Amino acid sequence: MPVLLIAGFAPACLDTLDENAVETDKHYSNFNDADNAILGIYGKLMGLVDRVIVLNELRADLMTITPNATVDQTAISNHTADAGNRYCDVAPFYEVILNCNDALANFNRMKVENKLSPADYSYRYADVATVRCWVYLQLAVHFGSVPYITDPLQTVFDVQDASKFPVLSLDEMITTLISCMEALPTTDLSIESPLRSVTDADGYDMQLLFLNKKAMLGDLYLWADRYTDAATQYYAVIDEAEKKLYSGSEKHAYKVGGWVWDASNEPEFQICYARYKSLDISSFRNKWKEMFARASSNSELKREMITLWSYNARFAPQYPLIELFANTGKGKYQLKPTDWAIDSLWEAQVQRDNNFVFDGRGRESSFDWVNGQPVVIKYLYDYYPQTTDDNRTIHLQYNDVQNELVQQGRWFVYRAGLLHLRYAEAANRAGYLDLARCLLNNGIREFYDWNMDDGSSKRSDKEGVQYSGYKPLADSLFSKPYPAPFYLDGRQNDLPYVYLRSPWRDNYGIRRRAWVQNVSLPNLPAAIDSVRWLEEALVKEAALECGFEGHRWGDLLRVARRKNRDVAGSGDAYLNNLMLKAKGVQMADPFLPWKK
C-alpha cells in the first residue's frame, strides 16, 4: 500500500493558462480605476470557491464523493488525480495572481505620478498584495513547488518561459510570502481603506470583503513554526477590531463569547439550552449555526466573521456550491460528508451537564440528513427557506425551494472560531499549553478562576485571578501573568467588590460555546508528548468547528510536517491513518500533479 508522503515535488508548467487570463487594459487614471481593479480581482478570487473547497476538503477526511461525482472529483478524493484533472488546472489561480501583479505595478506608477495619495496607495497596495499571498499559499500547499511571479505581464504567454521565474517549494514560498507581508505599507484593518465606502447594491458590508492582513501574516508564521510571532498577529486581529470596529466598554469582537438567559435571544453564536433546562432535550437551542445565516449587515455576525464573501453581490454572481452539495432543486449532490466524520467526530461528542451524545455544530448545522442522504448544508442556508421554532432555533426547509434559479450563497473565508484555534495552536507550541487548553475548552474566566487551598474561590478583584498567568504557589502569593501576546484578562466582578468588566470576561472557549464537554489532557510521560497530544486535539476541534470551510487539508498538512520534524515519519503516519480511516482507499503523493 502506498504511503501518503508529506514531501513532494511538482515541476512548474503553465501550459494550461489562457491568453486572456490578464486584463490588458492598463488605463489606471484615478483612484476609481484602482478601486474597480481591486473589485475585479476579488471577483476572480471568489470564483475559486469550488476549487479551494474541493482541494482542501475532498482530499482530506471530512468529505467524500457520491455516485453523482465527476471523474475528476473521484480522482481528487482517491488521490489519483493527473494533470488533466480540472482541479489540477492552476490557470484560474494564476489569473488572479497576474491581475494582482498588473494592479500593483500600476498602483506604484500612480503613486509616483501623484494620482494616488500615500494613504490611498497604502491600503490599495496592501489589500491586493495580501490577495496574491493568499493565492500563492493555496498553490504551494496543494501543488508543492510552483513558479513565483511578481512581474506585470501583458499576456500569460509571457509566463510560459519557466526559466524567467523561480520555482519555489512550499518552505521557500512561505519564507518569501512572509517577507512580502512584512514589507507591506500597512497591515492595518481595511476599515480605513477608501474602498470601504463603496456602496454595494445588495447591502453587502464591504468590510467583510477584505482578507485580514494580520491573520494572513499570522498563518504564514504558523506554517513557518514561528509561534510567538503567529500569536502576536492573531492577538492583534482582535485588538485592532475592538479599537476600530467597536466603541465603548463592550469588548466582544471575535471573542467566541456567549451567555444563556431565558428571556434573551442569546445573541452570541452558541449552542445552549433554556436557562435551568439543560436536562431537557426539548429546550435545546442552536444559535451557533446562525453565523451562516445572518445578513452581512448584522452586528452580531461581524463579531464572528472576519472575511465573508457573498455571492449575491454584483461582482461575484456565480455560486457553484449548490450544485456540489444540494440533493434537491438544482443540486447535483456530487459531494457529501464522510460517514467517519459524522459518526466518529460530530456524533461522538458528549454534551455538558446532560451527557447527551451529539455535537450541535454537526447535525442540522454543518451537515444534515436530507431525504435520507447525508448533505453538507453549511453552504445552503441562503438556498433553502428557514423557519424558527419555539426555542428560537432556525431550521431549513429542504423540500421547499421557492426559486431554484436564484443560486446565491456565501464563502466563510475566515472567522473567529478559526482564529482562536490557530491562536491556541501557536500558544501550545510556544510553551503556553494551559492557555491553549483554555481557548479550546471553557474560556479564560472559568479556566483561570483558581480555588484557594481550602477549596474556597478567590474573588476576581484579586490580582492573578481570571487572567491568563502562572498559578500562584500559595494562597498568599499573587500569580504571575503571561507575557504578551499570551495575556488575556477575563476578570469580572460586581459591587460590593471592586467593579470589573475586563475585555475577555465573556470568552467561552470553543467547546463551551458549543456546549460539549472539555477535552481532558491525559497524564503523559513528557512535556513534549502533552504538546503533541493537544495539537492533535486542536486539529480535531478545527474539524468540528470549521468543517467543510476550506481549511482541512492545510491544517492536516501543516501539523503533519511539524510532526515529521519532531520524529521522522510520524507526520506521514498521522496523515495516512486519517485518510485510511475516512476513505479506506490507497493514497499517493499529497501534492497534486499539474504538469502536462
The answer to whether residues 192 and 243 touch, using CB atoms and an 8 Å cutoff, is: no
pTM of this structure = 0.94
Q: How do the domains of the chain map onto residue ranges?
A: 271-415, 444-506
Bond into 152 cis (ω within 30): no
Q: How many residues does the chain have?
A: 596
Mean pLDDT by 10 residues, the chain (596 residues): 38 42 60 89 95 96 97 94 92 94 95 92 95 98 94 70 85 98 92 64 78 97 98 96 73 83 69 86 93 90 93 76 94 97 97 96 97 97 92 91 79 98 98 97 89 69 77 80 95 80 91 96 90 96 98 97 94 91 70 66
H helix or E strand, kind and range, residue 367: strand 367-370
Q: Residue 3 has what pLDDT?
A: 40
Q: Residue 588 has what pLDDT?
A: 64
d(CA 129, CA 219): 15
- Grid cell 482517491 — which residue? 78
- Grid cell 453552504 — which residue? 379
Q: Residue 10 has what pLDDT?
A: 37
Q: Residue 380 has what pLDDT?
A: 95
The answer to whether residues 439 and 453 touch, using CB atoms and an 8 Å cutoff, is: no
Q: Residue 583 has what pLDDT?
A: 75
Q: Residue 478 has what pLDDT?
A: 78
Bridge partner residues of 336 (DSSP) = 64
d(CA 6, CA 588): 10
The answer to whether residues 592 and 142 touch, using CB atoms and an 8 Å cutoff, is: yes
Residue 298 half-sphere exposure toward CB, CA atoms < 13 A: 16
